[in-house]
Chain A
Amino acid sequence: MISDVIFFFGIAWIAGLLGVLVVRVARARTTGQRILALDLLTLILVGLLALAAGEDRAPYALDAALGIALLSFVATLAASRYYESRRPFT
């Protein structure tokens, strides 16, 4: 069992990281940096779900995390391919 102080501190800290990344996505200098920041944002969302699964002893939170990880990979690949050649897959 995770102690409550650590759990709520972790939730608040990860929420702060997500906020920083949202600002980073909005103010990125180039498109590559924007895609990269979005990729990192979804990865940190997986970390948040892992924290929730550890606190609640709930495997279903990790099902959602797995889905988000898969979706993040496909979305990043499609976005960067499109940025590279203006077509998703050549």
Chain B
Amino acid sequence: MTEVIEDILILAGLVVLTLAVYGVVRMPDVYTQTHAASKAAFLGITLLLASAAMSGDGGIITRALLIVMLLAVTTPVAAHSIARAARRRGERMRTPDAVDETQA
């Protein structure tokens, strides 16, 4: 039973990671790409780490928890930093009907 859950978690993680890459390839500008790159990638890696933690090994579980907590803190910060840098350097919003509410 555990093996089946591990396999399902891996397949789900692969699907979510594929969605993240697809979003980065297909989204028109960097502001929308940050959504796919930060949220979907974090969820996909969490699923893969959960599959590894299903083995029940204490060393793997603690390390997986550590990595998930670290990514939960760092991924949004990195995405925000990239989007702010792009905005300050004047990258255009290419999404249709995009509304820019910042002051330059």
Binding site for B on A (CB under 8 A): 1-3, 6-7, 10, 13-14, 17, 20-21, 24, 30-33, 35-37, 39-40, 43-44, 46-47, 50-51, 53-54, 57-59, 62-63, 65-66, 69-70, 72-73, 76-77, 80-81, 83-85
Q: Roughly how many angstroms separate A84 CA and B85 CA in the complex, as a whole number?
A: 4
Q: Are B30 and A62 in contact (CB under 8 A)?
A: no
Q: Name which residue of chain B comes closest to A33, CB basis.
A: B30
Q: Are A54 and B55 in contact (CB under 8 A)?
A: yes
Interface residue SS majority, chain A: helix
| Interface check B100, CB cutoff 8 A | no
Q: Roughly how many angstroms separate A46 CA and B75 CA in the complex, as a whole number?
A: 13
Q: Are B48 and A47 in contact (CB under 8 A)?
A: yes
Q: Are B33 and A10 in contact (CB under 8 A)?
A: no
Q: Are A33 and B21 in contact (CB under 8 A)?
A: no
Binding site for A on B (CB under 8 A): 3, 6-7, 10-11, 13-14, 17-18, 20-21, 24-25, 29-30, 33-34, 37, 41-42, 44-45, 48-49, 51-52, 54-55, 57, 59-60, 63-64, 66-67, 70-71, 74-75, 77-79, 81-86, 88-89, 91
Q: Name which residue of chain A comes closest to B15, CB basis.
A: A13
Q: Roughly how many angstroms separate A31 CA and B89 CA in the complex, as a whole number?
A: 10
Q: Name which residue of chain B comes closest to A83, CB basis.
A: B85
Q: Roughly how many angstroms separate A36 CA and B30 CA in the complex, as a whole number?
A: 8
Q: Roughly how many angstroms separate A43 CA and B84 CA in the complex, as a whole number?
A: 20
